[in-house]
Amino acid sequence: MAVGIFDSGLGGLTVLDAVSKRLPDVPLVYYGDSVNSPYGVRTADNIYDLTTAATERLFDAGCDLVILACNTASAAALRRMQEGWIPEGKRVLGVFVPLIEALTERRWGDNSPPREVDIKHVALFATPATVASRAFQRELAFRAVGVDVESQACGGVVDAIEDGDMILAEALVRSHVDALKRKMPNPDAAVLGCTHYPLMEETFAKALGEGVQVFSQANLVAESLADYLERRPEMLGSGTETLFLTSGDPAQVSDHATQFLRRKIEFQAA
């Protein structure tokens, strides 16, 4: 009955942590592709190839449902996967839609025409590949009209977090927020479009200033998954064991992950 969670590195652990608290009885198999991280500077074809390979590994581990807890993979690969790659009886979901549903105040499965919403000016902070894909704007347009989105590619932030250099990560976040505010001085809301960024949420919020609603993904994805599994319990796979898999060095990744979540995490080779 395991659910797979995939990320290019450690950022998806923020989603795993939220899901494990929301669904404590569901085994989770996490796969971090640390050897190839970060994905945010790779081409769309390369991201697709890496994401499908990782997803296949999670299918092999007994997961019929896989969450792409990586905005870059969700933006650059998910639609292509859904259009012709995913095997019958399997399902792959991304992390954009729960966030956009929260932003536009919609419930899952609400396919009514796009409408005006209260939020008019949105700052999107994401990796270069996510920004280039314009996937956020595409999904938003299905649900809302009249929303101005200004994107900021946050180069270096994921690397700093993965390296455990939070001082550098905080400095980079402040720099990227300053750059965004030169383009959009008064956003109504900010979207943290990378699963690494919840660790920097306080820094983003402080740099943005009061009055800016900050949307972060982990808890939104956990709630959306709980709702999905309540409606589709057959998507719980055959796996019964919680596992942490990595393409990198298990000992090194385990040390970084333990620091990342502030609890003991033990990875094994994928």
Cite the active site residues. 70, 194
> Is residue 151 a contact partner of residue 191, using CB atoms and an 8 Å limit?
no
Residue 156 structure tokens: 């270096």
Contact 27, 242 (CB under 8 A): yes
| Closest listed residue to residue 46, CA positions, set 32, 34, 57, 36 | 36
Contacts of 149 (CB under 8 A, 6+ apart): 122, 124, 136, 137, 140
The owner of tokens 């060095």 is 249
Q: Which of 2, 28, 39, 12 is nearest to 221 (CA)?
A: 12
